[in-house]
Structure 1
């Protein structure tokens, strides 16, 4: 690698988003990009770490690995963590927190691994300086990630702090808000690129609309985030970060099309408008109180639809079958020349849509297995296209 300041990093993501995250990283300029399961590894320097946190839409965390070793017991883990030079990362006056994930026959419980790791690091400082650092689970100065796979332990620093899905623009949510990283990933999987009008016909608190506008205008998704984890690190370089931020802002582009949101609940519309204002995107997005089933497509141009309709597990619906039938009828009758995408978890109920899916992508909404499905509604036909 040409740049000696490059180091390995790991971007964590949701299941099914590995390909789009890898593409995002390559487009940003990462090198040696390799896909894993729910993660993508890559190399870059400190400035790139700042850029990745600011600009990646489908990453949940950016981890910086600092040590890797074999472990066979909790005592072994304790001894090896105790031997590390923790003073280069924080002081005993600072707070820390441990996150752990364990896939191993040697270690049965991730919480016990976290506890043993905390003891090793606290004891290191007590024996070196006479003072133990405190743990702060919510807002630590340093968040440390312990990952054990079989007998291999990787110790990483969490450069993101709070998960990157917490963009900072959402002050109000409805009953079942969609995760911001999930919304961005669904949009990218659907091929949304800002080159047509966009509609979310059941927009809730507006997350999909906001992420769609940020993609269309190439706005960094974490511009509104209050703080990143790396801002509390000893090598925090505010001048470098401001240069990265300014360079990213210079890449924002104009957007000529409409982004529209409907919801039939007045409370949801109010929340969406608040969140859109928080994200400084009011000029790009319009939201109105409408029942999608009583609406028609405006104009003749191609329309891109993506929505997260209510479904049984998260929101009660008296009749899911009738609900999905209404979605299909509305699309067929009122929305010609449209590409419509939905995320659904009830695979039986969506048969009632009465349209042939042209694509189905497996994703997870929280712990619910779901599908992102695509329907192509063609101009000049209100009948179902014949199966080939």
Structure 2
């Protein structure tokens, strides 16, 4: 498997272009962008590197077979006819995940069940023993995707989703997904060298991801395990070489990155997560109230305020206060904010210079940019125009 082969990197809606750019920078070939995914080609070492270094990938799948099916018999037969001895033995454990967009199949769990049945039946018929199912820590994860009649079977090289970096042990009520946090930073116009402030840091995820980007630290460098480590073709020497290569790519960063929160208990959680990520030298944690602090000009802000989904607040008043505070206390700053409360966003009272549609979990959200000019925006443009 030293030659190149096709892989699929899954991601969140709205982050496809960011992931495509990441793959191009890593050296992938035959890159094709889709919806919530990007396909590409690389060798075994590149698969290890992609799992370790991609910030906006949720998992890396390796397609192994495709066929057509219109009913459960077709599905079972198609799976059974594959040679599963190449991927697992009777002593290994198995988990199957199914996704369906088809008029012929209605339930993804049923598709996963029939797939599992075909795999274990084949191995039992060949060896006299069947593999056990382990949904949490299996030796092999199989992904089955059905689009109309087309069945695509892949094996999951990542294991646990790649947003589980390993550093976040403590969370607040509504933490942001690590992949989404990294994607938002890469979508923004932050130069990755200057000061970065999260004034509502919660459990610290945005600040941690920003620090790893600024210092070029592989996001999954400290991850305890990948799915491919249990595969028959796993090359530990190659994997360790890739790890060493990732370590050499780290760079200095003066920033600083500042994570603030008004709640002391929440800030303690963030401190623990920063420590778990070994980023104490890169992130400065401060107790501070966004609505009362003054910020010097030219600050770059990014934050994830409450949506009123899991935290009960008066959203209209809260979001109005965000807008008022940005105008009054953060003149000269650039502020990026993500929210899943599209109605409350109107209460900010500021016109965003950019607005990007993303999803936070299943919740449709907007990632918006506010430029807090000194004086009027019209005057600012005139001054910029004269200076050019």
- TM category (shorter chain) comes to over 0.9
TM value normalised by structure 2:
0.95
User: How far did 1:385 drift?
Assistant: 5.7
Equivalent runs, 1:230-245 vs 2, <5 Å: 230-245=228-243
1:156 is matched with 154
Does residue 15 of the first structure (1) align with residue 22 of the second (2)?
no
1:264 and 2:265 equivalent? no
Q: Match for residue 30 of structure 1?
A: 28
Could you list the runs of 5+ residues in structure 2 that have no partner in the other structure? Answer: 382-388
The residue number in structure 2 matching 1:303 is 299
**What is the CA-CA distance between 1:339 and the residue it aligns to?**
1.3
Report the counterpart of residue 43 of structure 2 in structure 1: 45
Unpaired runs of 5+ residues, structure 1, are: none
* Correspondence for 1:56 among 35, 54, 66: 54
Q: How many residues align?
A: 381
* Residue 362 (structure 1) aligned with residue 360 (structure 2): no
SS in 2 for 1:294: coil
CA distance in 2, matches of 1:196, 1:4: 40
Match of 1:248 among 246, 249, 258: 246
Matching of residue 375 in structure 1 with residue 373 in structure 2: no
Aligned mates of 1:374, 1:329 — CA distance in 2: 15
Paired with 1:245 and 1:308, the residues of 2 have a C-alpha distance of 32
Q: Tell me the alpha carbon deviations over residues 233-288 of structure 1, each in whole angstroms, 9 at most, x when there is no partner.
A: 01111110111111111111110111011111111100000000000000010111
1:53-92 deviations in whole A, cap 9, x for unaligned? 0000000010000111111211111112111111111111
**Cα RMSD after superposing both structures:** 1.6
Structure 2 residue aligned with 1:323: 318
For 1:353 and 1:154, locate their aligned partners in 2 and report how far apart those are by CA, in whole Å.
45
Residue of structure 2 aligned with 1:340, choices 308, 329, 335: 335
**TM-score calculated relative to the size of structure 1:** 0.95
Matched, 1:131 2:129: yes
Q: 1:329 to 1:265 in 2, by over 3 A?
A: same
C-alpha separation between the residues in 2 aligned to 1:184 and 1:219? Answer: 12
Among residues 70, 73, 77, which one is paired with 1:72 in the alignment?
70
